[in-house]
Amino acid sequence: MSCDGADLETPIVADVDGEACRARDLRLQDLKEESAEEFELSFFGGRVTHGARVKRALQVTGLLLLGLALFFCLFRDRTLIPTMKEEFAPLNAAELGANATENATINEAKKEATKEKEAPKDCHTAVPGDSCYGAVLWHKWIGLIEQPFKYNITRQANRHTVQEWLWQNKQAGCQRPCPGEYPVPTVPSAAAPRIYCFSVARGGEEMDAMFMQRQSGTGIFGCNGYDVYSDQSINIDGYMTKLIPSTAAGVSVDQTAANSQVFMKTWLDILNGNFWYTYDFLAKVDPDAVLFADRLRWHVQSRVGQNVFFLNCAVHAPAMYGAVEVFSKASLGAYKDSHARCEQSLPFWSWGEDRYMQECLKMLGVVPISDYNNNVRDARCWGSDCGNKGAVAFHAYKTVNSWYHCYLASA
């Protein structure tokens, strides 16, 4: 049998040419084994077949292509990724302030949103000018004091509670008040001439008068600027009193309060600052004096820039009664510079502060201006008639309900 057409799968058959065929078959077998070995490769110390190598190569190629695609997308627009410097550079003061402001604004907006969410949809807190606002003040400062039996709330009730009571009883057109702070009238800061007013108040009725004036925008709270001095730190609807060591006073030789030292310290506290010089006039007002600040402006407007103070009673002799004392800033500048002369020469410890200031300023050359026409209507001078629609002030109304009655009668 010939070897022609025989392949590696055909068994070897002995024949005449048996030796030649066997040699051919052995050679073909060697070639097959060498071919198989060529398809084996060493990979990381092991051996893999050609198919496994192709599979790994495809996996690596796929990962490389995916990485290149991500790299291209990210860096195509550099604004998408900040540089390392931009990412990790410390914020400067302006940036920190801006961030703080932004955060505060966001927090405030959240608070307001929370308030709106919590507030009843049909609520309305009365504001100055509303009929309900005036009714709230009347019931708090007059009704609850004079006729407490008509209410199921006490005199200590705040304005929210009073408005709630009015709403429940369908009075003055009041609605249910909303949560949050109850408003107070704004200060007429642009009114001219500019007047700064202050009171020295003790606890009790005097401090009640300060709260009522604050809530109604009357008395010293109708001036361009104001302060309440006290030996107690009290929050008067958002305004904090200014502390002085003591408000105690004896009795003067005139049978009035021997309070010169209390006010001497208060005046120096004011004058040692700088704010007072932004006003044209300064007025010391007793808590029991019913002051109309707009009428006072009319009385003093012709004296702006002059070195003067004002006398307001002449029943016994021309004098400045202490219920309302008004001074130009020039006159107080003279007092600030030379008050030691007065303290060394005048018996201030036995006088009321109004007499002390009058005599001191005259000693320093300040001009007293007689102003008796519709100025202060004092029970100790010409009497106090709250029906007068033109007087600057009325004195003395030592209970808060009588104070407010007088104001309403003259307004």
Query: What are the pLDDT digits (tens) for 176-210?
Result: 999 999 999 998 778 999 999 999 999 999 999 99
With the CA atoms of 157, 162, 163 and 169 taken in that order, what torsion angle do they form, in degrees rounded to the nearest 10? 140
Mean pLDDT computed over 83-112: 52
Confidence bin at 262 (pLDDT 50/70/90): confident
In angstroms, what CA-CA distances link 12 with 28, 106, 367?
Answer: 12, 95, 149
Average pLDDT, the chain: 82
The pLDDT of residue 80: 42
Radius of gyration of the chain (CA): 48
Cβ contacts of 175 within 8 Å, gap of 6 or more: 122, 123, 124, 132, 167
The pLDDT of residue 84 is above 50: no
How many Å apart are CA 2 and CA 4, to the nearest integer? 5
pLDDT digit string, tens, across residues 216-242: 999 999 999 999 999 999 999 999 999
Residue that wins the pLDDT comparison between 17 and 394: 394
Map out the domains of the chain as residue ranges: 90-118, 122-183, 195-410
Confidence bin at 245 (pLDDT 50/70/90): confident
Residue that wins the pLDDT comparison between 14 and 156: 156
The pLDDT of residue 352: 87
The pLDDT of residue 270: 97
Mean pLDDT computed over 361-367: 98
Mean pLDDT computed over 124-150: 98
Mean pLDDT computed over 262-279: 94
Mean pLDDT computed over 367-391: 95
Asked whether the CA dihedral 80, 86, 91, 97 is positive or negative, the reply is: negative
Cα angle 261, 263, 269 (rounded to 5 degrees) comes to 110
How many Å apart are CA 392 and CA 376, to the nearest integer? 6
The pLDDT of residue 15 is above 60: no
Count of alpha carbons within 13 angstroms of residue 289, beta-carbon side = 27
CB 203 within 8 A of CB 232: yes
pLDDT digit string, tens, across residues 23-35: 656 665 655 555 5
DSSP assignment of 26-60, as one string?
HHHHHHHHHHHHHT-EEETTEEE-HHHHHHHHHHH
Which range has the worst mean pLDDT, 94-108, 190-204, 238-252?
94-108
Q: Note the pTM of the prediction, 2 decimals.
A: 0.70
CB 386 within 8 A of CB 289: no
The pLDDT of residue 324 is above 60: yes
Residue that wins the pLDDT comparison between 95 and 63: 63
Q: Which fold has domain 195-410?
A: Spore Coat Polysaccharide Biosynthesis Protein SpsA; Chain A (3.90.550)
CB 236 within 8 A of CB 244: no
The pLDDT of residue 8 is above 50: no
Strand 225-230 versus strand 195-200 pairing type = parallel
Residue that wins the pLDDT comparison between 356 and 63: 356
Ranges assigned E (strand) in 179-236: 195-200, 225-230, 235-236
For 195, the 3-state DSSP assignment is strand
